[in-house]
Amino acid sequence: MTTMKFTKDHEWVRMDGDLAVIGISDYAQKALGDLVSLELPKVGRVLKQHDSFSIVDSMKASSDVYAPISGEVVTVNSDLNNNPQWINESPYEKGWMVKIKPANAAELDTLMSEDDYKKYLSGLGSH
């Protein structure tokens, strides 16, 4: 697996060739609980860093998912529409949500490494 970067809002991003693959972290899926539906963005939508690009619905609540970096949506994981539980089962592999073409690769440097994210989580306390 190539290096993943994380946001404070619990999204992850990793480069796959020219494209950035984005999803939500294992911590996020556990906090949300069983996911039952979601709304993915349209291909071609241009996202700015921190834009809400998706809404995920768990049994108890609906939550926004924010773009870790800016870019244009190239592909969405439309299999998730009928299998939102993949995000619970496999948040970093089968549960990827979108691939975007980064507008500004330097934004990746503003994100946390996996180690930093782990430290960040331990600072949040137990949930």
Which residue lies nearer to other proteins by CB, 13 or 24?
24
Question: Residue 81 CB, nearest distance to other proteins (Å)?
Answer: 6
What stretch of H or E contains 73?
Answer: strand 71-76
Question: Residue 100 CB, nearest distance to other proteins (Å)?
Answer: 22
Count CA atoms closer than 13 A to 40's CA, side-chain side. 25
Q: What residues make contact with other proteins under the rule CB under 8 A?
A: 33-34, 36-37, 39, 55, 57, 59-60, 62, 81-82, 127
Which residue lies nearer to other proteins by CB, 37 or 110?
37
Instruction: Determine the Cα–Cα distance for residues 3 and 111; give it in Å rounded to an integer.
Output: 12
Which residue lies nearer to other proteins by CB, 42 or 127?
127
Instruction: Determine the Cα–Cα distance for residues 45 and 31; give it in Å rounded to an integer.
Output: 28
Strand, coil or helix: what is 2? coil
Question: Residue 92 CB, nearest distance to other proteins (Å)?
Answer: 19
Question: Residue 54 CB, nearest distance to other proteins (Å)?
Answer: 13
Which residue lies nearer to other proteins by CB, 13 or 65?
65
Enumerate residues 6+ apart whose C-beta is below 8 A from 21: 13, 14, 15, 96, 98, 99
